[in-house]
Amino acid sequence: MSPSIARVGAVIRKELAELRRNRLIVVTAVMLPVIFLIGPTATVLSIKASALSTTLDKRVDYALFMPLMVSVLVPAVMSAYSVVGEREQGTLEPVLTTPVTRAELLFGKAAAVFIPAAVLGYLIFGIFVAITQLAAAAPVAAAVRHAPQLPAALVFIPLLAAWAIWAGLAISTRVSDTRVAQQLAVLGSLPPVLLAALMSFQVINPSFALVVALGGALLAVDCGACLVVARLFDRERLITGTRPSRGVPAPPQDIRSPMS
């Protein structure tokens, strides 16, 4: 059966409506960006024009790293709810007996988190940069404007969000409690942040080539994670928590393949 854009659209639409009305998700999606915007912005605005260049660099590095966390934490919390929320409400079974395919369901759910997560990630960065350019001392504003982490962030925001989504979805398929899923998803979303941190704090110099290489590597990891999650989205596994049965005594008319 060929994938149906209409069904993917239906899943996205439903997911967004549910997320919008989930108080915990809404609070997370509002509070985290605000926190990760206020901290770095205040830091940058507090730097005096006369500050030593090393002090300036350190603070700008910190300020440019923190907003990246929004691109990880918000989608992790959202995607962790995605399957376990269905399981808690008992909606998984009726949905899986409709013609929706696992690819449609998976990409619908992923897109419904990716869209707001990427928008929030860019928005927070945009607001941070705009405020610093308008209100920070001239040398500080220039340091932010010319920081190599700025273009790197443009590449890493969607890639980090994608990783957090796959990690959240993978955990969500295996856990039966929303809060546990969200806590585990936050932990699971953090490893790639290490790369971003190393670049942000210039432990490794974020040259154009390095950004492209690391971006490519993260993209490959995201693709691999997508394939893993696609396997976890098997109907039988989602419903029973076990793998589809294989290799049991010779039946009269055997049907062994999973139905997806």
Does residue number 5 form part of the binding site for another protein (CB under 8 A)?
Answer: no
Question: What would the two tokens of residue 113 be?
Answer: 């988190």
> What DSSP string runs through 25-69?
HHHHHHHHHHHHHHHHHHHHHTS-TT--HHHHHHHHHHHHHGGGG
Does residue number 146 form part of the binding site for another protein (CB under 8 A)?
Answer: no
DSSP label at residue 49: T
SS3 138: helix
Does residue number 251 form part of the binding site for another protein (CB under 8 A)?
Answer: yes
Does residue number 17 form part of the binding site for another protein (CB under 8 A)?
Answer: yes
Nearer to another protein, 57 or 236 (CB): 236
Nearer to another protein, 39 or 244 (CB): 244
Q: Which member of 10, 123, 142, 150 binds another protein (CB under 8 A)? A: 10
Tell the smallest beta-carbon distance from residue 178 to another protein (Å): 13
- Separation CA 186–CA 190 (nearest Å): 7
Q: Which member of 82, 101, 149, 172 binds another protein (CB under 8 A)? A: 101
Tell the smallest beta-carbon distance from residue 212 to another protein (Å): 40
Q: How many helices (H) and strands (E) does the chain have?
A: 12, 0
Give the distance between the most distant pair of CA atoms in the chain.
Answer: 85
- Separation CA 19–CA 15 (nearest Å): 6
Does residue number 95 form part of the binding site for another protein (CB under 8 A)?
Answer: yes
Residues interacting with another protein, by CB under 8 A? Answer: 1, 4, 6-7, 9-11, 13-14, 17-18, 21-22, 89-101, 235-236, 239-240, 242, 244-245, 248-260
